[in-house]
Amino acid sequence: MKFADKPDFSKKMIEVAAVVGRAIDDVEISAYFNRLVEYPLDLVCKAFDRALDNRDNEDIYLATLIPTDGEIRKAISAIFAEEIDLGATIGCEKCKGTGFILGERNDGSTFAERCECLLAIIEVKKKYDPKRKDGRRKL
């Protein structure tokens, strides 16, 4: 994520907090932002939805917590695995088949970006899977 993504990231976090029935302040949002900054915004948003979906709804206590950055990272790995599962990134020279390219910011910190080959798969998936069309999860 870039600094410009922060308002959208904040919106997402406020939405997630509302889902679990909590309030969240700027300090917490910034902490999450800093921990997850190496991932693209849309991936982080998807990971939040998935982390919530993955929870055992029987667990009342867990249902009132905002997913931790650990849960988000787990969800991101699962999403990576699914996207790469499609196999179309294999043989890509640019990303060496991982689907992701590491970039470096001016301040020397690194971040991961989806490779073109992976973006192409996502587009195809969107086109042929009507459930994903609006990008929202069903409640």
Which range of residues in 49-57, 63-71, 113-121, 129-137 is near Zn ion by CB under 5 A?
113-121
With residue 137 as reference, give the H or E element that holds it: none
Q: Which of 2, 11, 22, 94 binds Zn ion (CB under 5 A)?
A: 94
Residue 115 engages Zn ion in binding (rule: CB under 5 A): yes
Residue 95 engages Zn ion in binding (rule: CB under 5 A): yes
Count CB-CB contacts under 10 A for residue 88: 16
Q: Could you tell me the two tokens for 3? A: 């600094």
Residue 117 engages Zn ion in binding (rule: CB under 5 A): yes
> Nearer Cβ to Zn ion, position 11 or 94?
94
Which range of residues in 17-25, 78-86, 110-118, 128-136 is near Zn ion by CB under 5 A?
110-118
The full DSSP string for 11-73 is HHHHHHHHHTT----HHHHHHHHHHHTTS-HHHHHHHHHHHHHTS-TT-TTGGGSPPPHHHHH
Residues 64-83, mask of contacts with Zn ion (x by CB under 5 A): --------------------
> Nearer Cβ to Zn ion, position 43 or 115?
115
Q: What 3 state SS string does 58-106 have?
A: CCCCHHHCCCCHHHHHHHHHHHHHHHHHCCCCCCCCCCCCCCEEEEECC
Q: Which of 86, 92, 120, 122 binds Zn ion (CB under 5 A)?
A: 92
Interacting residues toward Zn ion by CB under 5 A: 92, 94-95, 115, 117
